[in-house]
Structure 1
């Protein structure tokens, strides 16, 4: 406390020296311009200005601590208490910019200290916010109302706590004994909650020391721990945890501090709270879990952290959309892969009884469809409208996804028929259902293109497809992407590429197999010559 009293005495002496000094003394003080405060920018955008030219110049001089100009304008009888369109005076700007010399000049010339701007801000609020203890001392001595509130119910203690001005708090509580300032504002937040919301560790510790710590909630049911966690202030959370017993307390929306930290994507804060014993599975009032929130927002590293903490993948209360649905819906590929690696249920149903594959197929997300297909999801599941993922993709005109789904249906049907490990070990092609652009298959794809676009006639590709055990649903799905009378050529080429996908995964010599299949299907004229003359060098493709 000795430091505060010494600062007060020094400021008092400075004030007396300033008031008794000659005009030359004003010219020697600092005139370094400061950055404009936020409320100044608002004033500039508030509409037409009603100040006289000299009054506007005087306010600008107060903003920039230009004492020469202030003195000249004062000698011209300028109204130093004139207000702008926000009802702010020159003293507001001088205090807000923490210009001690300009403030002292104004007070020495009887500037009013009781004017509130359109938001109810007085100079005592601005001094508490900007942190100028010397200015605060001058204002108090000039009669400024220390208990004034703005329109949001905030007083000087609120502003000092919010801006981490410890010396101002000490002065208000220990010197002026204004403990009654420790009241909730219009949002129900006491200074302690505002300090926590801003993550001011020093202020939190000072308020605890002054017995101004509170476990009370604001009007939204948030404690100080909620507010610090919501904004990701890990150091503040650590300090608050030493003061807190119930870390799983919920606000009006049923959100715990941990839930709010996840919602904000604050991973470090989540780790601190989890280590302190937070329940990571508590849903909010809408039965939305922290995992769902992280997946919806695409916080990949947070999802990985939650999975490492053994978060409940399948809560007892059935959610409207599973975490996997939300990750797919928002096209978060990394999150989807993390959930699949953690063995999330690939066949979970949402309110429309759609699986994640239905959603990915409907949106045409190729990478997500690929990931789900490789996870062996249920291809036969139907939604409320009785549609499979293939029917949904076909309806949405996503031809790439349609082809991927047909490839998967055929591959898994073949594997089921021949056993799980029956894939030919000599085949080196990786399991993928995406469109093939590999160099290794370029020649055989050219052969198939020539077959589809130059040799197959309308209706023939369907006949060939049926001989290869394409289902009627698969054929209809291909046909649904119609682009004109010549569509059958594109459809045929797609069917041939789908056949090639299966042949590459199950056959050692796909070109030879194609020759045999064309003959067997009743197209000997298309088969033509034996494989070597059909496509030199490709018989072992």
Structure 2
């Protein structure tokens, strides 16, 4: 059990509580016996006085109600609250009214539980002096000795031990006082249990197979770890999940604890039941400092888990950009020999981690790695419509012709998914790289210095010509004409079909034409010093002399202004 049930003592209790019904002198049912039940319906005890809950003629239920459900009395509830707040005056007043100090609520908790959990020495002393029971366990199996070990009250612990509290009691999760003290970093309690009471037998695994040393490591308590080592309670044993203390400290990012444990550890690459090393767990949690400490100590950063997932794949999937950069600086294996479901680049693209993708590309990750569907990272980015990732992959010169198991290129995948922006980017890239393959990068006009980008153009410098192209597409071109113009510009049939795939009605050809014109403009601006002149000539040849004349006028105006373009 973790801190959850213990932490409940620090918060408020639910107002609806169960009662403890005390048996009177009814023969055959025992005398002074108590039972506790959870409220489910209004009590039907014959001694019920009226609508006020918990009010009986004699003050207590006279018999064993069995299937009758009784509420904790108001005075008993007030007494528990007084113990929780250390209100001794109220506790004394209520005690004088013969309140039952051992009454339990719906959690089976007594006033002593509350006082010990809140570390109120005065309230605890009062209760013990008035014979409060020290052996009651709540519904989680927590006794007051557990709460004292957790809250760190050594004086309270001494009082409870003198009062006869069971020092070896366990809760439902098999945790004893030493577990709780180790978990909450209460060194004085541990010293008392081990050195004064000589209870070394408390150093046992709980239901999860974790000894106190593992719990201290899990919480990152350096002082407790060092104390347990001093007391010869250090252990290299594993819990039921195969985790050592080093695994647990690394998993939760406790780098100071990891440093201390490394001085005690021999096998730092030991794996748990899932095949995870401490380094792998630190990466999975995004704990970069822990990763650096473990790597500096010689951890193997490339060991995959049982599912053949590496630390790099985990970091990229979770988007831990800084951690990915660290792994790359440590020369992590980008392409492990195992056959993973997805490469690190696939995982970064799949989860839209742009920064991680850029880091992997800078490290020369294989841009054309294939996943189980034989899709490249570009296929995945195109299918998801991630514009920024498509841009990064296109600039990395990935293979645009690669086909997946269904025989589809990234362009076909984007078209099928109706991502028109990505479709246009891919066509721009196909046309540009085809041109560069034919002419070579050096054949670009030296006066053209536009940055290479394939995203949609929103620049101010090209606004006027884009307006002219819009006018051409939406007011001049008829159905079927833009395709003829596109073929004259060497658009492939696949590219034309991809544009046509995004259908919005009978007027779709106008939008299709405009997109084709913008794609042409992208290539013209990247490869030519005078794209406007080229457009004029193409329009004349295609049979649009009037619009070509408007282009000539635009060229004259453009020549009179300094050329400053940023093309996208």
Q: Same fold (TM over 0.5)?
A: yes
Cα 1:524–1:168 change in 2 (3 A) is: same
Are the aligned partners of 2:450 and 2:566 in contact in 1 as well (CA < 8 Å)? no
Change (3 A) 1:526 1:79: same
> Could you tell me whether the CA contact under 8 Å between 1:511 and 1:540 is conserved in 2?
no
Structure number with higher helix proportion: 1
> Structure 1 residues 89, 461: closer, same or farther in 2, change over 3 A?
same
1:84–1:539 distance in 2 versus 1, CA, 3 Å? closer
- Paired with 2:466 and 2:49, the residues of 1 have a C-alpha distance of 87
* Residue of structure 1 in register with 2:42 after alignment: 20
Q: Deviations over 1:98-139 (max 9, x none)?
A: 000000000000000000000000000000000000000000
The answer for the alignment partner of 2:172 in structure 1 is 151
| 1:421 Cα deviation from its structure 2 partner | 2.6
Q: Could you report, residue by residue, the CA deviation over 1:188-246 in whole angstroms, capped at 9, with x for unpaired residues?
A: 00000000000000000000000000000000000000000000000000000000010
Rounded Cα–Cα distance in structure 1 between residues aligned with 2:513 and 2:522: 14
Gap change, CA 1:55 and 1:534, over 3 Å in 2: closer
User: How far apart in 1 are the matches of 2:339 and 2:465?
Assistant: 49
Q: Calculate the aligned-residue CA RMSD, in Å.
A: 7.3
Distance 1:235 1:130, change over 3 A: same
Could you list the structure 1 runs, at least 4 aligned residues long, displaced by more than 4 angstroms after superposition. 7-15, 19-31, 529-541
Identify the residue that residue 64 of structure 1 maps to in structure 2. Answer: 85
TM-superposed deviation, 1:526: 4.0
> CA shift at 1:422, angstroms?
2.3
Q: 1:19-59 CA distances to partner (integer Å, 9 max, x unpaired)? A: 9999999999999xxxxxxxxxxxxxxxxx98110000000
In 2: Cα distance, 1:424 partner to 1:496 partner: 21
Name the CA shift for 1:444/1:74 in 2 (closer, same or farther; >3 Å). Answer: same
| Residues 137-181 of structure 1: per-residue CA shift (max 9 Å, x gap) | 000000000000000000000000000000000000000000000
Cα distance in structure 2, aligned partners of 1:87 and 1:329: 50
Distance 1:436 1:165 in 2: 64
Give the C-alpha shift of residue 530 in structure 1: 12
Cα pair distance change 1:432/1:30, threshold 3 Å: farther
Partner residue of 2:266 out of 245, 256, 259 = 245
Structure 1 82/494 Cα, relative in aligned 2: closer, same or farther at 3 Å? same
Q: What is the rounded CA distance, in whole Å, between the counterparts of 1:12 and 1:461 in structure 2?
A: 72
CA gap of 1:500–1:53, structure 2 versus 1, over 3 A, is same
Cα shift at 1:506: 0.5
Q: Which residue of 2 aligns with 1:214?
A: 235
Q: 1:69/1:30 Cα in 2 relative to 1: closer, same or farther (>3 Å)?
A: farther
> Is the 2:9–2:118 contact (alpha carbons within 8 Å) kept by the matching residues of 1?
no
CA positional deviation for 1:517: 1.2
Q: How far is 1:427 from its partner? A: 1.1
Taking a change above 3 Å as real, the CA distance of residues 141 and 70 of structure 1, as seen in their structure-2 partners, is same
Q: Is the 8 A contact 2:255 2:293 kept in 1?
A: yes
Q: How far apart are residue 523 of structure 1 and its match? A: 3.6
Q: Is the 8 A contact 1:221 1:250 kept in 2?
A: yes
Tell me if the contact between 2:466 and 2:518 (Cα under 8 Å) persists in the aligned partners. yes
Residue 428 of structure 1: how far off its partner (Å)? 2.4
Structure 2: gaps spanning 5 or more residues: 12-40, 54-67, 549-555
TM-score normalised over the length of structure 1: 0.89
1:237/1:467 Cα in 2 relative to 1: closer, same or farther (>3 Å)? same
Q: 2:560 aligns with which of 524, 527, 533?
A: 533
Q: CA deviation at 1:519?
A: 2.1
Uncovered stretches (5+) of structure 1, i.e. residues with no partner = 32-48
CA offsets 1:290-314 (integer angstroms, 9 cap, x no match): 0000000000000000000000000
Q: Secondary structure at the match of 2:48?
A: helix
Residues of 1 paired with 2:469 and 2:504: CA distance?
A: 20
| Match 1:351 to one of 352, 363, 372 | 372
Question: More displaced, 425-434 or 360-369?
Answer: 425-434
Q: Secondary structure at the match of 1:26?
A: coil
